[in-house]
């Protein structure tokens, strides 16, 4: 805004005129221009998700950085994904037979009211939908979060202007006040108001005389009936209620449990981390929740432990929520309020009808129009209908965590993603939907759980057996030019001859690029492309370990789509199907064949490629199913002479692939089988393969197959924090990737193996924490023994430790040779980079950064417990 500081009425009026002029220019833009600006803005916001989250928590003292990262990510990625193809300029639909056209026109300048609870994600969301609709927006931040709100707006504005938007299309009040906010929402040049905040602010917006879209108070009740999946219900409520320390307006405020399962549900809540207050504790907490008839702002966005301290009671530090068992539904009961913190009420209901009546009263008391939740057997459509018809809420969620479910797209991909949730006339709002394009009527949306389809994608052709290379490559008859990507060792040793001989026989020309080094860099890709673009191959053959195969995948991509922005495709995504920047299908110019010569990476069957940036040395795991090779040839003849150190490192890499894929939140029946088979083969044959090498061809063959099976599993289930940490640990200290995984895996298993994690990973198919049981299943498959999951877990960890000893791998980062001072100097950077690694999202426990720090410190010292 050219250092135009807005802190008084004169400067604000000047700003409004500038934004109005910019919007009038922007209103003439075409759909293509708008879409380009929209994408650029979404990318910029997504890239800034972590620093903005940190800034918001530091400035407000509320919430959790890691959860605000998710909100910022959602506000950019999911909103972009939802609206990227929407037509918002000019004629957007036409029914020629009936003579109907729909023409879209912007409303003008929007006043954006931003709350202190969601200062950056709300600013991102409102900026993006404003840009998509050719409007302008001026933000009025909350005084407690003005810096972070303005910073979010600045980031989006800078990207939009760089992409071609008028320079004043987004503005803000630098020093907010009630006077300036009132001036903004009543100014004649402001067309409408997007209001998110407290009841008083939203009421002021609706009283301004301007069209307004806003939200009402949330007081979400969650019923758990006797047919519900209790483990899932308890886990989801805790996950939802602790998200950003309970500041989401849609988060559960009360649990209503039918008496037949009351004790079972309460016990499950306690198991998962809830603290049930006794009579005296409940009185003390109630006095802390409400002071002089109003919610105590000191508890908003604080942890359960801190709220307990404020109340003068003692609870364990790892308690997730404070729960008070109450019966009164009135403003005399503090627990019946919207608490914006990890504090919840528990009501006992006589039957389903009584539960619905209690939920209805709670909503009418202080949350009309917002959100309600029912946990029941999904086949109980009569109950779902009764609940939906009775309650006056815009979102009626079935078997869904309300914080994550109400904002849309996560737990029902047909529910529109939004961070402004209309509450209809029940809540004094103009609309009852998640804010979208048309909001002239109240709509009641019953969002039953409908998960997006899952997938299992591998190369169309996978050939295996000794000598398979010869016959498999002969399928390339008819191709003209092959570009072979390998490393210098395979070239100098003459092993490459087994490839070129077949190509000569079938009259396919070839060029060989043999300068791929371990951990290939972007400069290597550029060097190869100089040859590829001249040679114009119609087949690319990757021959070697993970490095040549990964490098070949990126060469393939850049050959077919030379304008690809590497930084964009390297950006982490929450859902591979919803990413902002995807990769178009490859294969128009060339097919790709992958022939591994090591037994570990599985890259020959995966959509992943790990590439290192030259300047920063950061490793980027690129993931897109377009990168999956067209043909994989698994020929054990190429691994017989693999040296011991490579055998050990690659073998343990394959093991971590299989283990992490098996416990991933994306694991399915289709990925579990190859993962288990790979683990069985590795435990049986890796020590033999390491010890006897070429003299035990059976062991070498079985390990080669195990690597590919593990690759097939993690290609579709993805990995976890072991790989997240290993990627960054390897970069920082030049540790081979397989060994880096070996140094971390035991600590990660110990961290994951809990029935009450601090935070459960968010993925719809992952209903409740079950990773300890899955580790037990691995132990069973390996015949390790054990009477229960706890014993099986110990036996599994011991078995992995023994395997590492058998193949002479170090048992700690210190033992590997990393100096303590160097390790701790890099620790903060390692933690943040590992948290933002692509693999982190599929880990069954969603880690806080402090958890990753603890894992690294334990791994450094070789401490498993």
CA atoms within 13 Å, Cβ hemisphere of 818: 28
- CA–CA dist 694, 700 (Å, integer): 7
Who has greater pLDDT, 144 or 765? 144
| Predicted local distance difference test score (pLDDT) of residue 296 | 95
Mean pLDDT across the stretch 3-23? 93
Q: Measure the CA dihedral 85/839/572/115, to 10°.
A: 90
**Of 168-182, 448-462, 702-716, 824-838, minimum mean pLDDT range:** 448-462
- CA–CA dist 313, 301 (Å, integer): 19
In degrees and rounded to multiples of 5, residue 752 shows phi and psi of -70, -30
The H-or-E segment that residue 483 falls in is: strand 481-485
Contact 718, 575 (CB under 8 A): no
Mean pLDDT across the stretch 622-630? 89
Single out the residue of 775, 764, 759 nearest to residue 676, CA to CA. 775
- Give the residues across from 95 on adjacent strands: 100
- CA–CA dist 658, 678 (Å, integer): 6
Contact 610, 738 (CB under 8 A): no
Contact 422, 213 (CB under 8 A): yes
DSSP letters of 335-366? GGS--SSSEEEEEEESSHHHHHHHHHHHHHHH
| Predicted local distance difference test score (pLDDT) of residue 443 | 29
* Locus of tokens 């948290």: 835
Pairing of strands 631-634, 90-95: unpaired
Contact 661, 843 (CB under 8 A): no
The single-letter DSSP state of residue 662 is H
| Predicted local distance difference test score (pLDDT) of residue 326 | 98
249 is catalytic: yes
Residue 345: pLDDT band with limits 50, 70, 90: very high
| Predicted local distance difference test score (pLDDT) of residue 444 | 38
* Locus of tokens 């580790």: 775
Task: Say if residue 211's pLDDT is above 80.
Answer: no
- CA–CA dist 66, 64 (Å, integer): 6
| Predicted local distance difference test score (pLDDT) of residue 200 | 67
Mean pLDDT across the stretch 151-162? 97
CA atoms within 13 Å, Cβ hemisphere of 17: 7
Single out the residue of 317, 366, 324 nearest to residue 343, CA to CA. 324
DSSP-H helix ranges across 273-348: 279-289, 304-311
* Locus of tokens 């009259």: 507
* Locus of tokens 């890691």: 66
Task: Say if residue 799's pLDDT is above 90.
Answer: yes
Our measurement of the distance from residue 326's CA atom to the centroid of its chain's CA atoms, rounded to an integer in Å, reads 36
Single out the residue of 89, 53, 81 nearest to residue 68, CA to CA. 53
Contact 277, 322 (CB under 8 A): yes
- CA–CA dist 572, 574 (Å, integer): 7
Q: Packing angle between helix 65-73 and helix 119-132, nearest 10 degrees?
A: 10
SS3 512: strand
Q: What is the pLDDT of residues 364-413, one digit of tens each?
A: 999 999 999 999 999 999 999 999 999 999 999 999 999 999 899 999 98
Task: Say if residue 565's pLDDT is above 90.
Answer: no
201: CB partners within 8 A, 6+ apart: 113, 181, 195
Mean pLDDT across the stretch 485-502? 93
Residue 582: pLDDT band with limits 50, 70, 90: confident
Task: Say if residue 446's pLDDT is above 50.
Answer: no
Q: What is the pLDDT of residues 264-317, one digit of tens each?
A: 999 999 999 999 999 999 999 999 999 999 999 999 999 999 999 999 999 999
pTM: 0.80
Residue 199: pLDDT band with limits 50, 70, 90: low
The single-letter DSSP state of residue 78 is I
Token pair, residue 97, equals 């037979």
Contact 579, 623 (CB under 8 A): no
* Locus of tokens 């055998």: 647
Most confident of 90-99, 417-426, 657-666: 657-666
The H-or-E segment that residue 229 falls in is: none
Cα→Cα distances 478→429, 582, 592, Å: 66, 31, 15
Q: What is the pLDDT of residues 217-234, one digit of tens each?
A: 899 999 999 999 999 999
Q: What is the pLDDT of residues 778-789, one digit of tens each?
A: 999 999 999 999
Among the listed residues 249, 423, 581, 647, the single catalytic one is: 249
Task: Say if residue 437's pLDDT is above 80.
Answer: no
Contact 429, 423 (CB under 8 A): yes
Who has greater pLDDT, 584 or 1? 584
Contact 305, 321 (CB under 8 A): no
- CA–CA dist 803, 777 (Å, integer): 19
Output the average pLDDT for the chain.
92
Task: Say if residue 829's pLDDT is above 80.
Answer: yes
| Predicted local distance difference test score (pLDDT) of residue 441 | 29
Residue 209: pLDDT band with limits 50, 70, 90: confident
């Amino acid at each position: 805004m050219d250092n135009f500081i807005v802190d008084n009425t004169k400067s604000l009026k000047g700003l409004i005129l500038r934004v109005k002029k910019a919007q009038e220019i922007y209103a003439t833009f075409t759909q293509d221009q708008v879409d380009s600006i929209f994408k650029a803005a979404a990318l910029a916001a997504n890239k800034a998700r972590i620093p903005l989250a940190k800034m918001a928590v530091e400035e407000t003292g509320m919430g959790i950085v890691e959860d605000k990262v998710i909100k910022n990510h959602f506000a950019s990625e999911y909103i972009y994904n939802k609206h990227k193809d929407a037509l918002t300029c000019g004629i957007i639909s036409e029914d020629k037979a009936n003579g109907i056209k729909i023409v879209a026109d912007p409303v003008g300048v929007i006043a954006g009211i931003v709350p202190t609870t969601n200062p950056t994600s709300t600013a991102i969301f409102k900026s993006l939908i404003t840009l998509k609709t050719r409007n302008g927006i001026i933000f009025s931040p909350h005084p407690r979060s003005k810096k972070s709100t303005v910073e979010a707006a600045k980031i989006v504005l800078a990207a939009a202007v760089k992409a071609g938007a008028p320079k004043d299309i987004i503005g803000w009040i630098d020093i907010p006040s009630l006077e300036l906010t009132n001036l903004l929402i009543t100014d004649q040049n402001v067309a409408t108001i997007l209001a998110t905040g407290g009841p008083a602010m939203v009421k002021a917006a609706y009283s301004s005389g301007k069209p307004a879209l806003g939200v009402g108070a949330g007081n979400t009740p969650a019923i758990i009936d006797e047919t519900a999946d209790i483990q899932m219900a308890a886990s989801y409520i805790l996950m939802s209620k602790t998200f950003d320390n309970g500041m989401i307006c849609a988060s559960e405020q009360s649990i209503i449990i039918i008496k037949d399962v009351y004790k079972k549900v309460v016990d499950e809540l306690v198991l998962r981390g809830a603290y049930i207050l006794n009579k005296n504790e409940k009185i003390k907490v109630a006095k802390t929740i409400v002071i002089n008839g109003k919610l105590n702002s000191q508890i908003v966005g604080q942890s359960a432990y801190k709220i307990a301290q404020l109340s003068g009671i003692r609870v364990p530090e790892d308690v997730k929520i404070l729960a008070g068992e109450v019966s009164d539904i009135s403003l005399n009961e503090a627990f019946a309020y919207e608490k914006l913190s990890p504090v919840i009420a528990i009501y006992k209901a006589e039957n389903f009808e009584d539960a619905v009546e209690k939920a209805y009263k709670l909503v009418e008391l202080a949350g009309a129009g917002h959100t309600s939740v029912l946990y029941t057997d999904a086949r109980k459509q009569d109950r779902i209908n009764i609940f939906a018809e009775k309650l006056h809420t815009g979102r009626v969620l079935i078997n869904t965590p309300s914080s994550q479910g109400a904002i849309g797209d996560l737990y029902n991909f047909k529910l529109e993603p939004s961070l402004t949730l209309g509450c209809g006339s029940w809540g004094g709002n103009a609309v009852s939907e998640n804010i979208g394009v048309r909001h002239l009527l109240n709509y009641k949306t019953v969002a039953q759980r409908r998960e997006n389809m899952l997938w299992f994608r591998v190369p169309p052709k996978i050939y295996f057996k000794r000598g398979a290379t010869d016959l498999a490559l002969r399928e390339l008859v008819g191709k003209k030019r092959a570009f072979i990507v390998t490393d210098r060792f395979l070239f100098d040793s003459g092993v490459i001859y087994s490839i070129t001989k077949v190509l000569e026989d079938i009259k396919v020309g070839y060029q060989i690029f043999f300068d791929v080094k371990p951990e290939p860099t972007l400069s290597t890709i550029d060097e190869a492309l100089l040859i590829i673009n001249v040679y114009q191959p119609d087949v690319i053959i990757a021959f070697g370990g993970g490095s040549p195969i990964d490098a070949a995948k990126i060469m393939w991509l850049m050959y077919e789509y030379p304008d690809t922005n590497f930084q964009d495709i390297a950006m982490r995504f929450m859902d591979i199907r919803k990413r902002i920047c995807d990769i178009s299908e490859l294969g128009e110019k060339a097919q790709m064949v992958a022939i591994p010569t090591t037994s570990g990476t599985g890259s020959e069957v995966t959509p992943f490629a790990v590439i290192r940036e030259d300047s920063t040395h950061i490793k980027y795991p690129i993931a897109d199913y377009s990168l999956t090779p067209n043909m994989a040839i698994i020929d054990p003849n190429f691994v017989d002479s693999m040296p011991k150190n490579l055998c050990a490192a690659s073998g343990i890499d394959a093991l971590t692939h299989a283990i992490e894929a098996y416990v991933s939140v994306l694991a399915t029946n289709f990925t579990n089988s190859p993962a288990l088979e790979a683990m069985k083969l590795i435990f049986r044959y890796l020590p033999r393969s390491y010890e006897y090498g070429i003299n035990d061809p059976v062991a070498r063959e079985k390990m080669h197959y195990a690597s590919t099976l593990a690759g097939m599993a993690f290609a579709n289930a993805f990995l976890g924090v072991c790989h997240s940490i290993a990627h960054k640990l390897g970069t920082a200290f030049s540790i081979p990737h397989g060994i880096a995984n070996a140094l971390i895996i035991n600590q990660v298993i110990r961290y994951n193996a809990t029935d009450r994690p601090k935070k459960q990973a968010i993925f719809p198919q992952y209903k409740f924490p079950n990773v300890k049981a899955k580790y037990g299943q691995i132990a069973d498959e390996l015949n390790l023994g054990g009477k229960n999951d706890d014993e099986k877990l110990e036996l599994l960890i011991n078995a992995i430790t023994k395997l590492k000893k058998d193949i002479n791998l170090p048992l700690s980062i210190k033992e590997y040779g990393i100096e303590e001072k160097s390790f701790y100097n890099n620790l903060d950077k390692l933690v943040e980079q590992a948290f933002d690694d692509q693999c982190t999202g599929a880990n069954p426990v969603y880690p806080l950064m402090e958890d990753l720090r603890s894992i690294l410190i334990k791994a450094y010292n070789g401490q498993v417990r």
